[in-house]
Amino acid sequence: MALPKPPNDDDRNQLAEYAKHKAKQAAKKQGKKMAKKIAKKGAKVVAKAAAKGLMALAKMIVALVSAVGLPTILIFFAAILVIIITTLTFSFFFGNGGKDLDDVTQELHEYVIEHSESTVDMSAPEQVPYRVPPQLIASVIQVEGLEDETEGIDREKEIIKEMAKALEPEFTYEDLNEWTEEEVTTCVQGEECESTGVVRTDSTRSRLSFVSAWNGTTTTTFEEHISPWETSTDVYYIDETYTEDETYTEYVEEVYYEEEWTWIYPSDGPPEYILLKIKKTREVPIERTREVEKIRRLKVTETTKSRYKYYSSDTTFNEDYSTFDEVLSSFDYGEKDKKLVESIYDANIDATDEILPPINYTNWLEGFSIGGNWGVGFNGEIIPGNGVPPQFMPYYLAAEEKYGVHWYMLAGLHFVETAFSTHPSMVSGVGAEGHFQFMKCTWLGWSYSGCKGTLGNASVPNDVKTDPAMIKKYGGYGRDANGDGKADPWDIEDAVHTAAYYLQKSGYATNMRKAIFNYNHADWYVDKVVAAGTKFKNEATYVPGEGTGLPPLTDGKFTTPTTGRISSSYGMRSGGFHHGIDIANSVGTPIVSVADGVVRKSHYSKSYGNVVYVVHDFGNKEKYETVYAHMVERHVQNGQVVKKGQMLGLLGNTGRSTGPHLHFEIHKGAWTSNKMYSLNPVSKVPFK
């Protein structure tokens, strides 16, 4: 989950204005009751405020609340100031790293941190971002401190423990086997090549696939990929020792005799000429053979062929505060108490400058979440993304119009139940049947005699099960949507309308998740349907029809982003420099891209609310980025290519906003957090 950047100075100015707005909302409920309580708690609050340099304001509070006979209007404003000062005071619970606190507050601070960290495995990096923020737990304690007459910390500790336990995230891991296959062929010079054959090495690891947290669910889907074979060659040399026979010449001494005539002169006789044999020696060569050890260098070529299996991931976050809302309801908090929790949470975050998940709880309470009935019956054409078979759209839209159930949630239900009617048998293991998997007794009605004592898969004659009169008699949900006289779960039109009717009767308009829960009675099922529905909603293209307030397409590079009046201009205003313009109109007015471009980011921001950033490249190094903030709904996603005049979403009042309007910015080049490249939009965009 992408975490938001810390707010810049302009955002902080907006936040300050928003905090005052929150305080006024909360004060409407507190009124005289709060003013009376401050008389008891005022001294403690003021003492802490004074420690942070707020003594002057604290004295003002004491002066106001001490006058019991003040007119109601003064007591009202006193309560506003009390909440502001109390919020600021309690934010010091986290300021300066939790240091310089009194003993009681220090004990609570450490207890909050301890239980916050206990909600996840802090040694698992993938879990840490999902821990229940200590600032969130503390914000509830702070509201409780305003309501509770008792002193001491037992109640606060009990709440801390309850909050941490109730909001503890749930993690689901998926074991993924990522293997490597390798074949090595070795060729030695002068020898036959040898191969190892394909050898696979498996490596299984757990990957986080689903998180159910206090502010929504995060679903990660994994897609398997097998890389193409890659070949690499390595050449090296080895020395080999060998022997061979060698011929050589050896010289041997040989004795031989030569005959030689010579004269002999004996002393007693005459000379004689005789033949003598004379002994001599000579070296004679002889050829011999011997074994000699030698070394030769051989070339080795080693060829490695390899491929591997890996997984890409796609993560979807569905914002949902149902669990958080149930916890606050268990403390008997009303709507304004709940909204006060968010304003104090914001103050706690500011005290630490910590990057935390965005919170959109107030807007969720007001019906701006995906589960509200906003967005039903869009006036125009809806073109589904690749994930939804277009042939089913007429049925989804007709059922949405009739029963007030969002088309994309019907698509999500259809996808989860039968993968858009592609399951082989279309009958579940427990007997649920048809496109949307209805039990026979749910379709016909549980008062049918054959349904008693069964789990819903009763033996029902088909002509009875599909007879609208019988369904009405037995109190079933089956609908005859196409008017052919039969309500058939195997007819796609009837099935879609029946699913929508069932969700409507289950309270979809007021509690979407509860209605979907009734369909299957499993929390994981609700998460899966909502995640799929949200994906289908975001992937669709919305083309407004006539009479919907669509701004006229103007000539030039840019067109008008929406219709309405400019309620705040570009430039200096109270609270700082305004880097855009505000265009006021009613909630639901279409907002379009002012030029061809690519959506860089579409998300929810604490300051901008629902916001879309679009990059426009006109060539020749001429680039702009436009910003569309405070929308009630976004209808584009990151990376989507949009055309000039294409709808991005609907005008709203989300984020740091004081009324329905579009906050529009245009930047030369890229948008930056300090907005140093902002331009006056009216200098570029024609406004009618």
The residues spanned by each domain of the chain are: 9-169+324-363, 173-213+216-319, 370-438+477-543, 550-683
Instruction: Name which of 529, 611, 630 is nearest 316 in CA terms.
Output: 529
**Scanning the structure block, which residue is given the tokens 């296959």?**
181
**pLDDT given for residue 275 in this prediction:** 87
Q: Give the closest residue to 346 by CA, choosing from 16, 575, 5.
A: 16
Q: pLDDT: is 292 or 100 the higher one?
A: 292
Asked: is 370-438+477-543 a CATH 1.10.530.10 domain? The reply is yes
Q: What is the pLDDT of residue 537?
A: 86
Does the pLDDT at position 324 exceed 50? yes
Give per-residue burial for 402-438: e unless 16+ CB within 10 Å, then b.
ebebbbbbbbbbbbbbbebbeeeebebeebbbbbbbb
How large is the average pLDDT for residues 76-101? 51
Give pLDDT, residue 95.
54
Q: Which helix (H) or strand (E) holds 525?
A: helix 523-539
pLDDT, residue 96, reads 54
Q: What is the mean pLDDT of the chain?
A: 80
Distance of alpha carbon 435 from the chain centroid: 30
Question: Among 230-239, 472-481, 575-584, whose mean pLDDT is lowest?
Answer: 575-584
What's the fold here for domain 550-683?
Answer: Glucose Permease (Domain IIA) (2.70.70)
CA distance 323 to 333: 14
> Using one digit for the tens of pLDDT, what is the confidence trace for 112-170?
999 999 999 999 999 999 999 998 998 888 776 654 444 567 888 888 998 898 889 88
**Lowest mean pLDDT segment, chosen from 223-232, 570-579, 644-653, 660-669:** 570-579
pLDDT at 335 over 70: no
Q: Do 370-438+477-543 and 550-683 fold alike per CATH?
A: no
User: Does pLDDT of 83 surpass 90?
Assistant: no
Q: What integer is the mean pLDDT of 564-585?
A: 88
pLDDT in the model for residue 152 = 61
Please report how the helices 9-51 and 72-91 are oriented relative to each other, as an axis angle in degrees rounded to 10.
90
Q: Which amino acid is at 243?
A: T
Q: What is the pLDDT of residue 606?
A: 65
Confidence of residue 418 (pLDDT cuts 50, 70, 90): very high
Chain-centroid distance of CA 262 in Å reads 125
Euclidean distance between CA atoms 354 and 113, whole angstroms: 14
User: Do β-strands 194-195 and 170-188 pair in parallel, antiparallel, or remain unpaired?
Assistant: antiparallel
